[in-house]
Amino acid sequence: MDEYITIALPKGKLFKKSVELLAQVGYSADNVVEDSRKLVITNEAAKVRFIITKTVDLPTYIEYGAADIGIIGKDVLLEEGKDVYELLDLGFGKCRLMLAVPEAKQRPKLTDYAHLRVATKYPNCAKQYFDKLGVQMEIIKLNGSIELGPLIGLSELIVDIVETGTTLRENKLKEIDSVYTATARLIANRVSFKLKFARLNKLVQDLQKILEEEAK
Ligand code: PRP
């Protein structure tokens, strides 16, 4: 074991479970915390380095090889479309990208919503979805608090992530279609995976064993 493995972890909902899972297969370091002031956290003994990134940036770090592997939601992978190697479906962080409308403004058919405005953090996924449906929409890109869109008249609809459904309920929004389901994925830089194959392949196998145990 003579090389370091650099692991990118995303801030936000997947962070805690990612750290716990990696620690179970021997990849841990002191003070890997979400609000760490230290940007690179190294465990010299285990030859592992952690970097903590903004969620949407994580695939970029992997694509350029600034990190060898990382954990990220399939939703972000689909939206960002970066060239990375998807190694494993980790199963946790299950959520849905969906289309929602204010409860009071529902219409009978999906096509009845044509030519309206849709607020979303996922403009590429939303565009693909509406293209497939054959419905023309104006897509408005936001970076958060998407549910605000219909509440204040910025948009008529939203395409957003739903996990527990609490945010939808609290804002009196109704899901009218599901775009896709997503879970956390282990991804790798394509070159790193070849150059550091022995170590990374063992990591994948060890994670697989844990996931199988958990599923029993
Ligand atoms: C996500 C998503 C919804 C919420 C859904 O937002 O955009 O707002 O979680 O989760 P729920 O179904 O469990 O309520 P996030 O917390 O990532 O923050 P954001 O508003 O900044 O996008």
What is the dihedral sign for C-alpha 24, 30, 36, 42?
negative
Instruction: Record the tokens describing residue 58, joined without a space.
Output: 């994580």
pLDDT digits (tens, 9 = 90+) for 111-145: 999 999 999 999 999 999 999 999 999 999 999 99
Residue 122 and residue 81 in contact, taking contact as beta carbons nearer than 8 Å:
no
Instruction: Tell me the torsion sign for CA atoms 84, 90, 94, 96.
Output: positive
Candidates 107, 120, 114, 99; CA nearest to 176 is 99
Tell me if 173 CB under 6 Å of ligand 1: no
Residue nearest to atom 5 of ligand 1 (CA): 162
Q: Which of 3.30.420.590, 3.40.190.10, 3.10.150.10, 3.30.1280.10 would CATH assign to domain 95-182?
A: 3.40.190.10
| Alpha helices, DSSP H, located in the chain | 15-24, 58-63, 74-80, 123-133, 148-151, 166-170, 190-195, 197-215
Q: Residue 1: is its pLDDT beyond 60?
A: no
Q: What residue ranges of the chain are covered by domains with CATH 3.40.190.10?
A: 5-93+183-215, 95-182
Mean pLDDT, residues 69-80 taken together = 98
Ligand 1 proximity of 81 Cβ (cutoff 6 Å): no
Best residue among 162, 164, 169, 178 to mutate for probing ligand 1's pocket (most ligand atoms within 8 Å of CB) is: 162
**CA-closest residue to ligand 1 atom 22:** 144
pLDDT tens string 58-72:
999 999 999 999 999
Distance (Å) from CA 165 to ligand 1 centroid: 9
30 phi and psi angles, rounded to 5 deg: -70, 140
**Ligand 1 and 145: CB distance under 6 A:** yes
* Cα distances (angstroms) measured from residue 45 to each of 23, 38, 100, 118: 14, 18, 49, 50
Confidence of residue 41 (pLDDT cuts 50, 70, 90): very high
162 C-alpha vs ligand 1 centroid, how far in Å?
Answer: 7
Residue 161 Cα: closest atom of ligand 1: 2
The 10s digit of each residue's pLDDT in 6-23 is 999 999 999 999 999 999
Q: Would you state the CATH architecture of domain 5-93+183-215?
A: 3-Layer(aba) Sandwich (3.40)
Question: What angle, rounded to 10 degrees, do the helices at 15-24 and 197-215 form?
Answer: 110
Cα dihedral 36, 37, 40, 41 sign: negative
